[in-house]
Amino acid sequence: MGIESVNDIIVGIDLGTTNSEVAIFENGQTRVLTDQQGERILPSFVGITDAGALLVGRPALNQYVANPERTIKSIKRRMGEATRISLGKNSYSPSEISAMILRQLRDTAEAALGQPVRKAVITVPAYFSDAQRQATREAGEIAGLEVMRIINEPTAAALAYEAGHRGSRRVLVYDLGGGTFDVSVVRIEDDVVEVVSSHGNNHLGGDDFDQKIVAHLLDHLKQQGVQVPTTSSAMARIIRCAEAAKRQLSDHVEVQIDEEYLLEYKGRPVHLSLELSRRDYEEMIQPYIDETMAAVHTALNGANMTVAAIDEILLVGGSTRTPMVRERLQEVFGLIPRGEIDPDLCVAMGAAIHAGVMGGSKAAAVLVDVTPYTFGIGVVGMLDGDIRPGVLSPIIRKNTSVPVSRSEIYMTMIDGQERVGIDVYQGEHPDVSYDVQIGSFTVEGLSDVPAGNEIVVQFDLNLDGMLQVTAREKSTGLAKQVTIDNAMTQQEGGKRDVSQSRDQVAALFGQSNKRGTEDNRADSGGSAGTPPRIEVQFETDSVAQQAAALVTKARRLLDQATEADRIEIVDLIDAIQSLLEKGDTDSAALQKPCDQLADILFYLET
């Protein structure tokens, strides 16, 4: 019988583009948890075997070359997008794929700790948008984790470094991961870790470096008249050897790339063989490095600091092993970047420290973080010498400490104005059409007074990046409030049920666990013995679930339908219901009425 712990443990998770880790804080120390193979790093890869079993981590990475079309890498780069990614016979949202990685980490933690794990602090790049953060939170929920807090990666890293250091310093955290880049200026003083400013790019990382080498290798092959198909195992091998070359170039000035029998082209075998020097490689990635250095200066400006004010540089993320990164930073700051904590692990360790603080552990530092974006409303204002609508009036500015409440007073424009529209934006551009609109509402029933009626707009931004907006007529107190929690509603087709995704992911894990035990009982000869029945079961389950969701939606929209549509919808609902009740989950039979219903609903919604 298992032991139920009274204290719910909170784990810290670094959900990375390339690698992910899970750590805990215990007895004043952080510990990165290892899986049964003793590995601390879980490659952020998800795949499906021929037989339909789920693979997460190293096994998925290993099958990548053989089965690139059934393997997903770097899902973090898609977080927050309203897209479906096909994997095997099904398709999943980026949150669902990330949930599979989180679920694996949760299993690792449960096995390592010998107790259930239900709570986590998860890190995201500081420059992640609200939608990306929300997608990450959703991934945690799908994986069966209560996400206690989302914290920023560079901040987590600073926490990990801070543990056990004294004194007051200003630190630049340079975090270059597999897919994202962040830079933060952090002030560490009297055990308070205070982020002063941060900046970054959500689509810049080691993956881009790989792509440059890949393009170089493809060019080389092209010169020999060889075209490599985009989704082939030859392409996957090229990507893999580009990655390997990149790593070697961190320690060597030159690398020999050899891939024999890469593919057969027009009946002859093609071998890839060439040398790549660090110098040539650095020329390829220079534009990216330049971009990161520009961001470093933006962050310094945001902090009102000069290069000379920085006492230390911390390197985070595997891509900071690139010698050019260190050289450039050293050149600009005249400091040797610190790297005594493994750049792959320090984010998870920092997340664990914060989890420890949340769980009530004494020790460790207090964290004060900032918002990386400006939030404001669109107003009539002056832009480029013209008075026009759609001008951003910032209420909470970039690099403001969170949590924070700010309010501004605005005036109505016309006499007897009855209503005022509040459009909420995230972004830095004075013209709102360049910013991201994250919400909108109207306050109606204002007093009949001359123009200049005062409207107080208050923004409350909490630690999770959730924004509450209140607009109030000052004279009467008439108010309207919205909470902007936008990512979920921005998903195409409306909010997807998290519990449904959770069951789906849990089902996949059930499958792979079954496979695991079978393999253990016999020999670990591979996945060939997986019973295909489970896959079929899962397929129909998923169609049945989709059908049920569709019926719910149809009922909701019934009121809006014309009489003719109504009859058709009701008939289709009945048809689907009776199939579901009979347990007739033959997917083809169910699919047809579902498709018809979906078509009608699509019309209704548009």
CB of 403 to another protein, least distance (A): 5
Q: Rank residues 186 and 245 by Cβ distance to another protein and give the closer one.
A: 186
Based on the shown chain and the rule CB under 8 A, indicate whether residue 352 belongs to the binding site for another protein. Answer: no
Work out how close the CB of 12 gets to another protein at its nearest, in angstroms, rounded to a whole number. 14
Q: Does 53 bind another protein (CB under 8 A)?
A: no
Instruction: Kindly state the smallest distance separating residue 434's Cβ from another protein, in Å.
Output: 19
Report how far residue 457's alpha carbon sits from residue 484's, in angstroms, rounded to the nearest whole number.
14
Q: How far is the CB of 585 from another protein (least distance, A)?
A: 47
Contacts of 423 (CB under 8 A, 6+ apart): 377, 378, 432, 437, 439, 440
Distance CA 384, CA 309 (A): 35
Rounded-to-integer distance, Cα 255 and Cα 27, Å:
45
> By C-beta, is 381 or 510 nearer to another protein?
381
- Pattern of binders to another protein over 128-157, x per CB under 8 A? ---------------------x--------
Instruction: Give the count of residues interacting with another protein (CB under 8 A).
Output: 34
Q: Cβ 132 to another protein, closest distance in Å? A: 21
Work out how close the CB of 485 gets to another protein at its nearest, in angstroms, rounded to a whole number.
17
Shortest Å distance, C-beta 414 to another protein: 10
Residue (323 or 403) nearer to another protein, CB? 403
Helix-helix angle 153-162:346-358, to 10 degrees:
80
The C-alpha atoms of residue 332 and residue 299 are separated, in whole angstroms, by 14
- Interface residue with another protein among 309, 463, 479, 567 (CB under 8 A) is 463
List the one residue from 294, 451, 536, 567 that touches another protein (CB under 8 A): 451
d(CA 434, CA 323): 36
Give CA–CA dist 105/93, Å, rounded: 19
d(CA 105, CA 351) in angstroms, rounded, equals 14
Provide, rounded to whole angstroms, the least separation between the CB of residue 362 and another protein: 12
Report how far residue 300's alpha carbon sits from residue 310's, in angstroms, rounded to the nearest whole number. 9
Nearest C-alpha neighbor of 173 from the set 127, 211, 129: 127
Structure tokens at 407: 């309010």
CB nearer another protein, residue 470 or residue 530:
470
Contacts 24+ apart (CB under 8 A), 549-556: 549/497, 549/500, 550/576, 550/594, 550/597, 550/598, 550/601, 551/576, 551/577, 551/597, 553/494, 553/601, 554/597, 554/600, 554/601
Instruction: Find the binding residues for another protein in span 385-404 (CB under 8 A).
Output: 387, 393, 401-404
Closer residue to another protein, CB minimum distance, 411 or 536: 411
Q: Shortest distance, CB of residue 194 to another protein, whole angstroms? A: 8
- Does 462 bind another protein (CB under 8 A)? Our answer is yes
Of the candidate spans 187-195, 253-261, 324-332, 563-571, the one that interacts with another protein by CB under 8 A turns out to be 187-195
Q: Of 82, 253, 309, 382, which one interacts with another protein (CB under 8 A)?
A: 382
DSSP single-letter state for residue 308: G
Structure tokens at 510: 């059930």
Contact between 413 and another protein by CB under 8 A: the answer reads yes
**Residue 78 CB-half CA count within 13 A:** 17
Out of 332, 368, 507, 604, name the contact with another protein by CB under 8 A.
368
Stretch that binds another protein, among 211-219, 407-415, 497-505, 545-553 (CB under 8 A): 407-415
Q: Give whichever of 259 and 460 is closer to another protein, judged by the CB atom.
A: 460
Write the DSSP assignment of 98-148 as a string of letters: HHHHHHHHHHHHHHHHTS---EEEEEE-TT--HHHHHHHHHHHHHTT-EEE
Q: How far is the CB of 408 from another protein (least distance, A)?
A: 5
* Residue of 46, 242, 367, 561 that binds another protein (CB under 8 A): 367
Binders of another protein among 188-207, rule CB under 8 A?
189-192, 194
Contact status: 452 vs another protein (CB under 8 A): yes
Among 109, 300, 379, 551, binds another protein (CB under 8 A): 379
Residue closer to another protein (CB basis): 242 or 370: 370
Q: State the pairing for strand pair 386-396/268-277.
A: unpaired
Q: How far is the CB of 192 from another protein (least distance, A)?
A: 5
DSSP, collapsed to helix, strand or coil, labels residue 333 as helix
How many degrees, rounded to 5, is the angle at CA 398 between CA 396 and CA 404? Answer: 40
Q: 101 or 159: whose CB is closer to another protein?
A: 159
Structure-token pair, residue 132: 């990306």
Distance CA 456, CA 370 (A): 24
Side chain identity, residue 19: N
* CB 230 within 8 Å of CB 236: no
Nearest-approach distance from CB 491 to another protein, in angstroms: 28
Q: Which of residues 24-43 bind another protein (CB under 8 A)?
A: none
Candidate ranges 90-98, 263-271, 353-361, 566-574; the one touching another protein (CB under 8 A): 353-361
In single-letter form, the type of residue at position 497 comes to D
- Residues at the contact surface with another protein, assessed by CB under 8 A: 149, 189-192, 194, 354, 357-358, 366-369, 379-382, 387, 393, 401-405, 408-411, 413, 451-452, 454, 462-463
